[in-house]
Structure formats: C-alpha cells, structure tokens
Amino acid sequence: SLAYGIDSLFSYRQNKGNTGLVVSSSYTSTHIIPVYNAKAMLGQAIRLNWGGYHGAEYLLKLIRLKYPAFNAKLNVSQAEHMIRDHFYVSKNYDEEIKNCLDWTGLEDRDVVIQYPYTEEVVVQKTEEELARIAERKKESGRRLQQQAAKMRLEKLMKKEQDLEYYKNL
C-alpha cells in the first residue's frame, strides 16, 4: 500500500503527539503546522522562506563582518558544517538567556573553531640568485640599447641614401 502525506506529521503521530506545533525545516523553507487533538490544522499552517541555506548564509555574513580577512576563504558549505556541528535548539530558552553571562560554566559553553590555515611560504632568494637576476636585467638592457643603436644607424643610412638620391636629381 502507498500513503501520501506530510512526513513531519507522520513523525509527530508516530511519536504520540496530541496537541502542539510541528516545525518542519528544510534547505530553503520552514513549515509550521498546528496540531490540535491529534488533527493537523492545515488551514492554519504557514510557510516561512527561511531554511538551512539562509541560516548558513546569515552565519557567513556575520563571520565576514567580524573577520573581514576571511572574505574569500570561507564558503557556504563550511558555514553549513559549522551549523550542523555546533548549533542547537534550546530546550529552555529563558533559562539559558538568564545564565548566558554567568562566569560559572562559561569555559564549558565557549566553542573555539579553528579554520584550516596554511602559511604562505615566501621564497627568499640568495645573494647569488639576486646577482644573477640583476645580471640578466643588465644584459637585456644592453641588448635593447644595441637594438636601438642599430635602428638609429639604419635610419641614418636610409636618410643618407635619400640625400644622395635627391642630390643626383
């Protein structure tokens, strides 16, 4: 047999839910469905245009505001991994907010995320290499000067030939 339905409502019924709100969140949207006496009130259900992608995008914007040097290094999939690994839904929000700034247990609640970092290696050139580079630059400068002198000589010879031609006329 085949049954069509809303998977979050199936789960709510399987978990013996009677009256409450079913919050079904996906990648691009969130659906909130009220349930009263084990019956879904689909006429009262709403769809929010906020899903997992939007949460990751928002986290990414916050991180980029706080750490501007990370702009090109952090992407949405890494933000999604942070959300999956470190975020949670509070079971008692009011109590957690009251204890949020207490110093006791702050170390346990503190989470440090280390971003993979590879230091760029700056190649230091030896004196010998620097001297070789300087010699190459001097040599190329000499070649350019020789080419320019050759061009000037050719132009001068052409002008002298033209002068001889016009004198013979």
What does the pLDDT profile of the chain (169 residues) look like in tens digits? 888 889 999 999 999 999 999 999 999 999 999 999 999 999 999 999 999 999 999 999 999 898 887 766 788 888 999 999 999 888 999 998 888 878 888 888 888 888 777 777 888 888 999 999 999 999 999 999 999 999 999 999 999 999 999 998 8
Q: Residue 159: inside a domain, yes or no?
A: no
Q: Residue 35: inside a domain, yes or no?
A: yes
CATH number of the domain enclosing 26: 3.30.420.40
User: Six-digit token pair at 106?
Assistant: 């702050």
Give the angle subtended at the CA of 70 by the CAs of 57 and 113, to the nearest 5°.
80
Q: Residue 5: inside a domain, yes or no?
A: yes
Please give the span between the terminal C-alpha atoms of the chain, in angstroms, as a whole number.
111
pTM over 0.75: no
Which range of residues forms the domain containing residue 13? 1-50
Are 31 and 12 in contact by the 8 Å Cβ rule? The answer is no
Q: How many domains does the chain have?
A: 1
Beta strands 30-36 and 46-48 are antiparallel
The radius of gyration of the chain from alpha carbons, rounded to an integer in Å, stands at 37
Q: Residue 22: inside a domain, yes or no?
A: yes
